[in-house]
Structures are given as structure tokens and as C-alpha cells.
Amino acid sequence: MPHSLRKEKPPFGGWADRNVCPIILVTIRCLFTAPIAKTVGLRYVEHVADGFRRYKGPAGTIMSMTRRKRLQHAEKYFAMALDFMELDYYEDAAYYFRKSIKMYPTAEAYTYLGWAHSLIGEYDQAIDYCKVAISLDPDYGNPYNDIGSYLMDQGQIDEAIPYLRRATRSRRYDPKYYAHFNLGRAWERKHDFERAVSEYKRALDLNPDYQPAKDAYYKLLRMMN
């Protein structure tokens, strides 16, 4: 694990925890990440905020604050983390995902913390965080898909398939077409092309504009015919 993640070193030399930090970061977000927020960030923030409100959280967490106040802080830190992810500052993103979890632990926050670790090659840590997410909300599909993807990246196809199948059946997963696409990739790598085509087709049924599924689907059809 990188030293800065292991030591929980605050971003930017420690000024991130000063009182002025939220104002500065909000200004930075407005000036430099507004296009990101409009196209990606707000969608994720709205989706994750629903998860924050659904999860009750441990009664003893940060006792000096009300539940609503903890939720507000958690959502703020989560939004900051997403902005850092979009800017490819993964260690800073992990720092703010952890701050969000400290305020209000949710399956969403743990899943995205795992994503941050995966992007710096720490797959085992990423999988561990996704398993925590599953323990908090077994109906949340994203961590199943992410574990499957991380296992595939390490060549563990047989181990990945059960997680990807579980993701396709999850009651709470948006967008689910990712799981079908990844399951199709797994079957293709096992040379089970009929199953792969079927999963790519299901991904396209859910999102006809998803180009990776289109490319994989038609490539396999040409190869099989």
C-alpha cells in the first residue's frame, strides 16, 4: 500500500482539514469540475445520496453530532472524493472516501473506496472494501460487479463469475448493464462464446448505446458465423 494511503496523510500538506477547506474546495469544484459534475458527478452523487439516506449507520458513530449532521458531512466528503477521482488524484480521493465513512459508513462509500484502491493496483485491498460493502448492504450490486472485475484483471476468471452473476441479479444496481457486459467478458475468456453473446445482448437490451457491449457482441457474432 502506498505510504500516503497507509499513513492517512491529508492532501495538500494538511490544509485540507482547516475550517477554510470546504469553501476553497467548493470554489475549486465550481471553477474546474463543473463539466464533470454535470455529466458524471451529480448522477453518482444523487445515486449515492439515496444510499446514505437508506443506511441507518451504527448508533455510536461520532456521538457529538446528530445523525443528519453526520449524513451531511459524509455526503460532502463523498462528493469531494468523486471530484478527486475524476481528476485522477486517487490517493486524495481515498482520503475523502475514508472521511465520509468515518462520518457515516455506507456500502456505497466502501465500494468507491475500493475503486480508488483498484486504480492504483491494490486489488486485494479493493476486494476487501467491496466485501465490507456487501456486508452492509447485500442487495447493492456494485461491489459484486467490482469484485468480479478485479478478479478478472488478475486472471481469476472462475472466481469472478459467481460475483458477476450475483451482480446481474441484484435488486439495487444502476447501471446493471455493466455486470452483464463483464459476465460476457468472463465467458468469452473461457471460450464459452454462446453464453458470452447472450450476456452482451442483455447488456445491450439494458443500454443499446453502450459501445463496448456493441463491439464485443458483433465481433463474436462475426467470429461464430
Do residue 98 and residue 174 come from a single domain? no
pLDDT at 198 over 60: yes
What 209-218 contacts at long range (C-beta under 8 Å, 24+ apart), as own/partner pairs, is: 210/177, 210/181, 212/181, 213/177, 213/180, 213/181, 213/184, 216/181, 216/184, 216/185, 216/188, 217/184
pLDDT at 21 over 60: no
Looking at the structure of the chain, the number of domains it has is 2
Do residue 127 and residue 144 come from a single domain? no
Do residue 160 and residue 94 come from a single domain? no
pLDDT at 78 over 90: yes
CA distance 223 to 193: 9
CATH of the domain at 96: 1.25.40
**pLDDT per residue over 136-170, tens digit each?**
999 999 999 999 999 999 999 999 999 999 999 99
Based on its alpha-carbon atoms, the radius of gyration of the chain, rounded to whole angstroms, reads: 19
**pLDDT value of residue 23:** 42
Q: Residue 172: what are its φ and ψ, rounded to 5°?
A: -130, 95
Contact between 33 and 26 under an 8 Å Cβ cutoff? The reply is: no
Structural domain harbouring 22: 1-132
**Lowest-pLDDT range, 47-51, 160-164, 179-183?**
47-51
pLDDT at 37 over 60: no
Do residue 125 and residue 183 come from a single domain? no
CATH of the domain at 162: 1.25.40.10
Residue 103 neighbours by CB distance under 10 Å = 23
